A and B are shown apart, each in its own frame.
Chain A
Amino acid sequence: MADTRFMTINMGPQHPATHGVLRMVLELDGEIVKKSVPYIGYLHRGVEKLAEARTYHQALTLTDRLDYTNGLSNNMAFCLACERLIGLEIPRRAQCLRVILCELQRIAAHLLWIATHALDIGAMTVLFYAFRERETILTIVENVTGARLTPSYIRIGGLAKDVPPEFGKMVRDFINEFPGRIDEYETLLTENIIWKKRTQNVAPLSAEDAINYGVTGPVLRASGVNYDVRKAYPYSSYEEFDFIVPLGSKGDVYDRYVVRLQEMRQSIRIITQGMERLPEGPVNAHALDVVPPDKEEVRHDMAALIRHFKIMEEGFKPPVGEAYGAVESPKGELGFYLISDGSNKPFRMRIRPPSFLNLGAVPKMIEGQMVADVVAAIGSVDIVLGEIDR
């Protein structure tokens, strides 16, 4: 006779709380999860393979579509790896603008997270509050880059173009208003007794386990490990900014929530400092064979037109070698490991997706937890399947 003590339940891939197409097979003993196996790959598009057939400039557009809540950080990581490969120094203005834009995207990504996570647990109001502010950020991003989700704005060698004149006012309005908005979310959740009961001591992850599973980002920091790529391996002049890395202690769902809220406040600090010190100057490195000419120049100058087409069609040829560029994306350490064989296309582009590893630790977190908390655990890890499946 078959053992009927345990029940196997299939959760997903079409489940509203799995944030995409994630499937979990749960083995239950009553209401307790004994074992869980995630199944991924439903969104696999073969980005690593596709990049091998594109020039470096063309491969950039693929990175937008990895973690689609966070296009600018993806661009940033890829460009960082490319620039290290060819040894390109980026002008100060472009570095500062990159920091401001990436931090804006971090806030937008965290807002999307808090909205959906709270909705999963049952606090619906937060969704409407958070999406209101997210809309403001996306409007800024659209104004600067021309797109809301797939910007491809940070380019190899600098930026696609300089920011529009109204950028300063829009960002200043936002950073003046936003700290009060975070207070609003806090009044809804932080001391809310239902929220605390659903999140405190739920799905904890110890510091050792988190490191062992390769977890990064807010999930790792909620477990009390002080590791942030912006501090450990500073890039794009992050070492000049004054901010702290919020840490949790227990590593439960509530700590992850607190850490992300604090991170949003720190992002506001970084943006404020960036706006104060934003230097004047060019936004692209002076590298005629890498950076395409200015659009205005292309319209009037035949040589510039030829150069534009040459760079877009043939690209550039980095020397043989390897480079790794990593950024602290809202999900964790997002890295690009590029191997060049001296041709105009990457020989191998390896993406180190933070969500992939963070999801890998979910079975460990929910072992022995209630089945109703699985939703809270998955939500607290903040996965994006576009990045996991690539």
Chain B
Amino acid sequence: MTDESKDVRRVTGKLLRQFGEKAITVEERSGSGIPSVIVDKAKILEALFFLKNDPDCVFDMLTDLFGVDNYKEKPRFEVIYFLNSLKNKTRLAVKVGLAEGESVPTASGIWKAAEWFEREIYDMFGIRFEGHPDLRRILLDDDFEGHPLRKDFPLEGRDFDKPFVVQLGEEK
């Protein structure tokens, strides 16, 4: 565990030197927490590219990419890139804050895995990814309205109490 945290400190230190304290905030979490950095939105793609290709970091696998709706805070949304280095056996969470309606550049050029993850975030939170090759809904129906993982989306869904009947001869 200590080895791992030393590795992470080296990585975050390098990131800070490269991009400056303005763009990078290192989150200090005690105990079992996940080492994480908050990156400025303007620098996110550069930072991810650096983390993947720098010989000391080599975060070659994008383990996970998902959104969080911190509805009480500003900025409201958070996109978390959860990276894994197969070589160094370290994990790092890279976070970006986004306000309502803001978009973030796609990471699918860096990791192919990001392509489906970003579609899922778009599906569930309505966050758009600039330059994404195929930004469609992935899990939900194409004509579904709303983004269900937003905290203001009701748990039981909308229209759940309306009967599912198709009226013949009555086209909308």
Contacts and interface: CB of A to CB of B under 8 A. Distances in A.
Main secondary structure of the interface of A (DSSP, over half): mixed
Given A40-B138, A348-B68, A360 B113 contact: yes
A211 B86 contact: yes
Nearest to A84: B32
A364 B140 CA distance: 23
B34 A352 contact: no
A214 B66 CA distance: 14
A372 interface: no
Interface string B119-161: 0000010000000000001111100000011000101000000
Interface in A154-180: none
Contact of B62 (A214, A348, A361): A214
B106 interface: no
B89 interface: yes
A81 to B, nearest CB: 10
Given A40-B139, A49-B155, A360-B115, A324 B91 contact: yes
A157 B26 CA distance: 31
B116 A360 contact: yes
Contacts of B50: none
Interface in A36-87: 40-41, 44, 46, 48-50, 52-53, 84-85, 87
Given A323-B33, A324-B34, A335-B63, A212 B140 contact: no
A233 B66 contact: no
A87 B140 contact: no
Contacts of A50: 155
**Which of B32, B66, B89, B155 gathers most chain A CB within 10 Å?**
B32
A104 interface: no
Contacts of B40: none
Given A41-B138, A211-B61, A357 B82 contact: no
Interface residues of B, number: 35
A48 B111 contact: no
A160 B3 CA distance: 34
B7 interface: no
A30 B60 CA distance: 37
A85 B32 contact: yes
Contacts of B10: none
A90 interface: no
A231 B158 CA distance: 45
B22 interface: no
Contacts of B112: 209, 212-214, 360-361, 364
A46 B158 CA distance: 14
Contacts of B91: 233, 324
Interface in A324-339: 324, 333, 335, 337, 339
Interface string B66-90: 1011000000000010100010010
A232 B90 CA distance: 9
A87 B31 CA distance: 8
B29 interface: yes
A36 to B, nearest CB: 13
A129 interface: no
Interface string A356-386: 1100110010000000000000000000000
A44 B31 CA distance: 35
A337 B64 contact: yes
B139 A389 contact: yes
A49 B149 contact: yes
B68 to A, nearest CB: 5
A390 interface: yes
Contacts of B69: 348
Given A84-B32, A335-B63, 7 more contacts: A85-B32, A209-B112, A213-B113, A233-B91, A335-B64, A360-B112, A360-B116
13 contacts: A40-B138, A41-B139, A49-B153, A52-B155, A85-B32, A87-B31, A227-B86, A322-B29, A322-B34, A350-B64, A352-B63, A360-B112, A361-B112
